Amino acid sequence: MLKDVFVPQEDIKAQFEAAQRVKEITGGGKKAYIATFGCQQNEADSERLMGLCRLMGYEKTYILEEAELIIFNTCAIREHAELKVFSKAGGLRKLKEKNRRIVTAVCGCMAEQSHRREKFLTSYPYIDFIFGTDRLHMLPQMVENALKGKKLKVYISGLSHDKFGVIAEGLPVVRESNYKAWVSVMYGCNNFCTYCVVPYVRGRERSRRSADVLAEVEALVKAGYKDITLLGQNVNSYKGEYSFPELLRRAASFEGDYWIRFMTSHPKDASKELIDVMAENPKIAPHFHLPMQSGDNRILELMNRRYTVEQYMEKAAYIKEKIPHVALSSDIICGYPTETEEEFENTVKAVDKVGFDMLFTFVYSPRIGTPAAEMEQVEHKIKTERFARLSALENLRAEELNSRFAGQTVKVLSDGLQDGIYKGRTGQNKIISFTLPQGFDEEKAAAGKFLQVKVTKAAAYTLEGEATE
Ligand code: 5AD
Ligand code: SF4
């Protein structure tokens, strides 16, 4: 394990002190707004940022106009995600003109890319500072600097230049939910899939200590959390004191009724041992997300995925065979550079053959600095046409697969009443809406409660049912 990636606790303490100074400067009682773009890792990061905000005397708000500290936690995975950030960031100008005391910041994956930083610095001068994915723990120091009018605008260690990045333990956290939680087990990625920007913006793989992860999970279970997701770009390469399967097994061994999930697995190293652990442990939710990316071996090789379609199929079959009622989901990229019609057809066939409960389909988006961006590109029209074709197939397959739940009684974690309808999730992470039979105690269907629901209708992406006593 890499010992030197941990931020020294005295540095964390220094941030806590900076937070106190910020509170003294502002007088406290202010509000912070964090806009989170992209994946669960960013959501988890934002919860820690909000923890630091609270320490500095800023409470969470969802109303941009009432915030005096505004942070955009950005995503760089596809161009679409970046454009969303740019369009929202423009709105900060007016707020800043109205109130000069507002502090504005940009962080996350876009901040790690020099060409994006350039754009923020030149086109968005009302952004006070930009910080990288491994500078998150320094928020109090950065806010203090901004409040004191320091002109230091960029806090970046340069993860794209082979730096490892850090792990900061002991940060406060303000979670979005009081029954669902993210627990990061590792950060970064070493895989360098040729289309992907993640290894350049999140640094090399580094794992939290198993004891720290397990202590966090145990505390969450004790606090009544019911749905806990272990997070990492590639959880199978977790290298703590325990292997990932063992960590998962232990995380699912605390007393109480709860689900453990994990994201994301790489097919090249999702092991039989991991699948067996899932099969044996009812607290591990029966959902396996295993990104296939393409169903053609030449494209997989170009992607640097290091598995073949046949190997993928074998793992998918093992998962379906071993884990009762499992939902298998996947990611597919349409129109990777040089992908031919025939190669895309191979993907369509593979998707049809495996049968995914959920498929996240993406149009390939060139990312500056990645090898695939330099290859011969597929025309945009063809990419979107392939995307549409695959989505149509998946709608049919998902509906077919969902019909297996019709008539069954399933365990559901309620998300409570939403627009007059009870909603929740099954262990497979499927959305289910349900009614309560007459006389059913509403308390038992409140958000964060487990209950049994009999499925009466199964459409492609939603189930419907009625709670049973
Ligand atoms: N273009 C399109 N999709 C991408 N993904 C990652 N990089 C790109 C890209 N450049 C997809 C992959 C990954 C998911 C999170 O995003 O399918 O699994
Ligand atoms: Fe990107 Fe590949 Fe790493 Fe996933 S495994 S984050 S797709 S480089």
pLDDT value, residue 325: 93
Tokens 């809406």 -> residue: 433
**Ligand 2 atom at minimum distance from 192 CA:** 8
Q: Is residue 90 located within the same domain as residue 197?
A: no
Question: Percentage of the chain with pLDDT > 90?
Answer: 94
Q: How far apart are CA 423 and CA 191, in angstroms?
A: 37
Q: Do 55 and 145 lie in a common domain?
A: yes
Closest C-alpha to 108, from 197, 193, 209, 239: 197
Q: Is 401 in the pocket of ligand 1 (CB under 6 A)?
A: no
Does residue 339 carry a pLDDT above 50? yes
Determine contact, residues 128/93, Cβ cutoff 8 Å.
no
| Ligand nearest the Cα atom of residue 189 | 2
Q: 41 CB less than 6 Å from ligand 1? A: no
pLDDT tens, residue by residue, 430-456: 999 999 999 999 999 999 999 999 999
Q: Look at residue 4 in the predicted model and tell me its pLDDT.
A: 78
- Domains held by the chain: number: 3
- Within 10 angstroms of residue 378's Cβ, the number of other Cβ atoms is 19
Does position 3 have pLDDT exceeding 90, yes or no?
no
- The answer to whether 413 and 425 are in contact (CB under 8 A) is yes
What is the residue with the minimal CA distance to atom 14 of ligand 1?
Answer: 331
Residue that is written with structure tokens 């011969």 in the block: 376
Tell whether ligand 1 has an atom less than 6 A from the beta carbon of residue 226: no
pLDDT at 102: 96
438 forms beta bridges with: none
Token readout for 98 is 């109205």
Residue environment code for 124-149, b if the CB has 16+ CB neighbours within 10 A, otherwise e: beebbbbbbbbbbbbbbbbbbbbbee
Average pLDDT over residues 353-360: 96
Mean pLDDT along residues 131-137: 93
DSSP string of 356-414? -SEEEEEE----TTSGGGGSPPPPHHHHHHHHHHHHHHHHHHHHHHHGGGTT-EEEEEE
406-420 pLDDT tens trace: 999 999 999 999 999
State which of 403, 435, 451 marks the end of a domain.
Answer: 403
Does residue 114 form part of some domain? yes
Indicate if 321 and 222 belong to the same structural domain: yes
- Sorted by sequence, the CB contacts under 8 Å of residue 286 that are 6+ apart come out as 278, 323, 324, 325, 326, 327, 427, 428
pLDDT, position 1: 47
Compute CA distances 306 → 71, 193, 310, 334, whole Å. 37, 9, 12, 19
Task: Give residue-wise pLDDT tens across range 137-179.
Answer: 999 999 999 999 988 789 988 665 456 788 999 999 999 999 9
Q: What is the pLDDT averaged over residues 455-462?
A: 93
Same domain, 399 and 460: no
Cβ neighbours of residue 356 closer than 8 Å, sequence gap 6 or more: 328, 329, 330, 394, 397, 398, 401
Check pocket membership of 26 for ligand 1, CB cut-off 6 A. Answer: no
**Under 8 Å between Cβ of 188 and 233:** yes
HSE, side-chain direction, 13 A CA sphere, residue 451:
30
Q: Is the pLDDT of residue 257 over 90?
A: yes
Residue 18: strand, helix, or coil: helix
Say if strands 409-418 and 287-289 run parallel, antiparallel, or are unpaired: unpaired
Average pLDDT (326-342) is 98
Q: Are residues 346 and 210 in the same domain?
A: yes
Which H/E stretch holds residue 181? Answer: strand 180-184
Judge whether 59 lies within some domain: yes
Could you say which of 121, 155, 189 is where a domain stops? Answer: 155
Going by alpha carbons, the residue nearest to atom 13 of ligand 1 is 331
Task: Output the pLDDT for position 151.
Answer: 82
Token representation of residue 80:
């679409």
From the alpha carbon of 363, which atom of ligand 1 is closest?
2
Residues 25 and 105 occupy one common structural domain: yes
Residue 398 has pLDDT above 80, yes or no: yes
- Best residue for ligand 1 mutational test, from 193, 194, 196, 294 (most atoms within 8 Å of Cβ): 196
Ligand that lies nearest to the alpha carbon of residue 289, given by its number in the listed order? 1
452 CA distance to ligand 1 middle (Å)? 36
- Nearest atom in ligand 2 to the alpha carbon of residue 293 is 7
Examine the domain organization and report whether 391 and 435 are in the same domain.
no
> Does 362 sit in the ligand 1 pocket, CB within 6 Å?
yes
Residues having CB closer than 6 A to ligand 2 are 189, 191-193, 196, 198-199, 233-234, 266
The confidence score (pLDDT) of residue 343 equals 98
Q: Which two tokens stand for residue 453?
A: 């629901």
What lies within 8 Å, CB to CB, of 26 at 6+ separation is 56, 57, 58, 68, 147
Q: What is the pLDDT of residue 461?
A: 87
Residue 208 in this model has a pLDDT that exceeds 60: yes
| Residue 200 and residue 127 share a domain | no
- What letter would DSSP give residue 138? G
Closest ligand by atom to 304 CA: 2
> Are 68 and 31 spatial neighbours (Cβ–Cβ below 8 Å)?
yes
352 and 368 belong to one structural domain: yes
CA distance 393 to 278: 29
Instruction: Give the residue, out of 41, 42, 77, with the most ligand 1 atoms within 8 A of its beta carbon, to mutate for a pocket test.
Output: 77
Neighbours of 421 (CB within 10 A): 11
| Average confidence (pLDDT) over 276-301 | 98
Q: Which of 424, 430, 431, 360 is nearest to 394 (CA)?
A: 360
For the CA of 366, the nearest atom of ligand 1: 10
Distance 77 CA to ligand 1 centre (A): 6
Rounded CA-CA distance 463/403 in Å is 9
**Residue 172 forms part of a structural domain:** no
Average predicted confidence (pLDDT) for the chain: 95
Q: Which ligand is nearest to the CA of 234?
A: 2
CB atoms within 10 A of CB 29: 10
395 domain-assigned:
yes
Helix or strand holding residue 230 (H, E): strand 227-231
CA 435 to chain CA centroid, nearest Å: 30
First to last CA, the chain: 49
pLDDT band, very low/low/confident/very high, at 356 (cuts 50, 70, 90): very high
pTM of the model: 0.96
Same domain, 73 and 123: yes
CATH code, 148? 3.40.50.12160
Task: Let me know if residue 2 belongs to a domain.
Answer: no
Asked if residue 81 and residue 150 are part of one domain, the reply reads yes
Atom index in ligand 1 nearest the CA of residue 39 equals 15
Write down which residue in 155, 188, 212 finishes a domain: 155
State the average pLDDT over residues 21-29.
Answer: 97
Tokens 């596809």, located at residue: 78
- Average pLDDT for residues 389-407, to the nearest whole number? 95
For residue 160, being part of any structural domain is answered with no
Q: Which CATH number covers residue 452?
A: 2.40.50.140
266 CA to centre of ligand 2 in angstroms: 8
> Looking at ligand 2, which atom is closest to the CA of residue 304?
2
Q: What domain range includes position 348?
A: 180-403
Distance 350 CA to ligand 1 centre (A): 18
Q: Which residue CA neighbors atom 1 of ligand 2 most closely?
A: 196
Ligand 2 pocket test target in 198, 206, 237, 262 with most atoms within 8 Å of CB: 198
Please give the distance, rounded to the nearest whole angstrom, from the Cα atom of residue 191 to the centre of ligand 2. 6
In a domain, 164, yes or no: no
Cα–Cα distance measured from residue 152 to residue 343, given in angstroms and rounded to the nearest whole number = 50
**Is the omega angle on the peptide bond into residue 264 within 30 degrees of 0, that is, cis?**
yes
**CATH number of the CATH domain containing 256:** 3.80.30.20
Q: Is residue 351 part of a domain?
A: yes
Ligand 1 neighbour 195 (Cβ under 6 A) = yes
Residue type at 122 in one-letter notation: T
In this structure, the answer to whether residues 131 and 194 fall within a common structural domain is no
